[in-house]
Amino acid sequence: PDIKRSMVKNAFGISLIKGIDFDSNGIVLVSDVIRKALEIDVSVLMGANVAKEIANEEFAEATIGAKPKHAKTLKILFQTPYFRIQTVSNPRAVELCGALKNVVALGAGFCDGLGLGNNTKAAIIRIGLIEMARVIEQVTGRFPTEILVESCGVADLITTCYGGRNRKCAEAWVRNPEKNWDTIEKEMLNGQSLQGTLTCLELNKVLKTYGENVNEKYPLFKNIYDIAFQGAPASSIVEGLVAEEELNER
Amino acid sequence: PDIKRSMVKNAFGISLIKGIDFDSNGIVLVSDVIRKALEIDVSVLMGANVAKEIANEEFAEATIGAKPKHAKTLKILFQTPYFRIQTVSNPRAVELCGALKNVVALGAGFCDGLGLGNNTKAAIIRIGLIEMARVIEQVTGRFPTEILVESCGVADLITTCYGGRNRKCAEAWVRNPEKNWDTIEKEMLNGQSLQGTLTCLELNKVLKTYGENVNEKYPLFKNIYDIAFQGAPASSIVEGLVAEEELNER
């Protein structure tokens, strides 16, 4: 592409795009697409970053996943007194957090739509975080313990499950059983896309390509898929939580 | 005491009390007081457990910290279809979570009182979780990575920082600068006690007994103390977050 011809030698990139793609071989990261097309090293920035609050210069953190040789430069480039950067060395894990949190947010929205309280919602967030880490392990080969307590991990997940648009739409979807996802998206998001349902749908397909019985490894994610796309009642969200707990005790 | 005389041989206990005490030697766990007085093994139960929601039989999880030989018995005793128990082998770490979360909740309340958004609040919860783990390491000798993703860890912290009474009172305190903590407690808690301020005050004293410069290791906890008791402006909460981030990069 033109960008590639215009690049200086030794150029490197950073992706701020929150989302992943899928093909027949499994999960495709946006940063991998850029890496391949431009033949450069690509880092990523993710975190608990509601855009409007950053525009108001309210304090926020973000995580940059970058190779060590680029981490310092990127931190200097992005950090301001109210926008604080932490760097970690695993960009693909950081990027996966930014997409998978939106699936957990659907579960949080179902919980809100059912009128359940803080205990249940905290359980969904907690177990969602564990399943996110397990998908990351499946894709990158390593369980990302250190990422879970970064802004791109637990913090972004909390923000998304309390304030995000995926949560909001999932709540409305449970409360208005006559409407489908497309209608909800059109009515509520003003042209923005409902990433959680897309990711949920594709994730369910793609996890199977990693091996047999892989759905058993993600009972909450499977349960969210069954509610969103297979007609399971929203109240069955609890079954995914219980199945995950039992999995952890085996 | 009478309880001790009435106990069967081989009795063992479990504490559901959320709180800690302090003496000149440092932190005193309630379970340690019971262990000493009754000379029995004592486990603890903590978790994201808003009482009213449990009474409504809404789904909740809890963590029991117990020696392996008692874990299974206690799980059978407490678990119901809507109240799910996970067990871990480090009761003192589990118990500390239940007290320290209330200090973080003050920070979350300051954030809400200042009208700051989800990004800032998520940063307070994230960094609060890290400092909780560091206090636990100081007291028990081990950084409790595995506890952070249990119900007593991240889940209870989230619940407390969104729904709890310590958060609520801290928000009101920032919004009503003419009122002191006692007034707020009396007006808002209907006879219940404001645990976060008590724990914050004692923790600040006691951390110093563990060694010199120990306050430098807990910039957010110190910052919350300075705001609650030393006249620092609530808006300085951000300084504690930045100091913690810088500490992690050293």
Short-list B97, B104, B33, CA closest to B64:
B97
Does residue A137 have a pLDDT over 90?
A: yes
- Tell me whether residues A117 and B156 touch, CB distance under 8 A: no
pLDDT of A210 = 80
Q: Which A residues, 81 through 140, put their C-beta within 8 Å of a C-beta on chain B? A: 82, 84, 86, 116-123, 125-126, 129-130
H or E element in which residue A79 lies: none
Q: Residues B52, B69, B72, B101: which is the catalytic one? A: B101
CA–CA distance from B198 to each of A40, A112, A164, B102, B203 (Å)? Answer: 54, 33, 34, 9, 8
Share of chain B above pLDDT 90, in %: 82
Question: Residue B1: its pLDDT value, please?
Answer: 59
- Which residues from A are below 8 Å from B158, CB to CB? 118, 121-122, 125-126, 158
Instruction: Kindly state which CATH superfamily the domain B91-249 is placed in.
Output: N-(1-d-carboxylethyl)-l-norvaline Dehydrogenase; domain 2 (1.10.1040.10)
User: Can you tell me the mean pLDDT for B56-72?
Assistant: 96
CB of B48 within 8 Å of any CB in chain A? yes
CATH topology of B2-88 equal to that of B91-249? no
Are B53 and A117 an interchain contact pair (Cβ–Cβ within 8 Å)? yes
CB-CB contact of B83 with A241 (8 Å): no
Average pLDDT over residues A30-50: 95
ipTM of the complex: 0.94
> Per-residue DSSP letters for B185-218?
HHHHHTT---HHHHHHHHHHHHHHHT-TTGGGG-
CATH 3.20.20.10 is right for the domain spanning A2-88: no
Residue B42 has pLDDT above 90, yes or no: yes
Q: Tell me if B155 and A130 make a contact (CB, 8 A cut-off).
A: no
Encoded tokens for B211: 């060694």
Average pLDDT score, chain A: 93
Of the candidates A18, A101, A217, A222, the residue annotated as catalytic is A101
Instruction: Please state the domain extents for chain B.
Output: 2-88, 91-249
What is the residue-averaged pLDDT of chain B? 93
Asked whether the beta carbons of residue B156 and residue A120 sit closer than 8 angstroms, the reply is: no
Q: For A69-78, what is the mean pLDDT?
A: 96
Contacts of A243 in chain B (CB under 8 A): none
Q: Is B47 helix (H, G, I), strand (E, B) or coil?
A: coil
pLDDT at A221 over 70: yes
Tell if the CB–CB gap between A123 and B86 is shorter than 8 Å: no
State whether residue B111 is helix, strand or coil.
Answer: helix
Across the interface, of A58, A60, A117, the residue whose CB is closest to B58 is A117
CA distance A141 to chain B (A): 20
Output the six-digit token pair for A104.
């957990």
pTM value surpassing 0.90: yes
- The percentage of residues in chain A with a pLDDT greater than 90, rounded to a whole number, is 82
β-strand pairing of B42-46 with B26-29? unpaired
B47 — pLDDT class (breaks 50, 70, 90)? very high
**pLDDT by residue (tens digit) across A164-178?**
999 999 999 999 999
Residue A136 has pLDDT above 70, yes or no: yes
Nearest to B121, CA basis, from A103, A100, A109, A154: A154
Q: Indicate if the pLDDT at residue A117 is higher than 90.
A: yes
Does the active-site annotation cover A205? no
Angstroms from B247 CA to nearest CA on chain A = 11
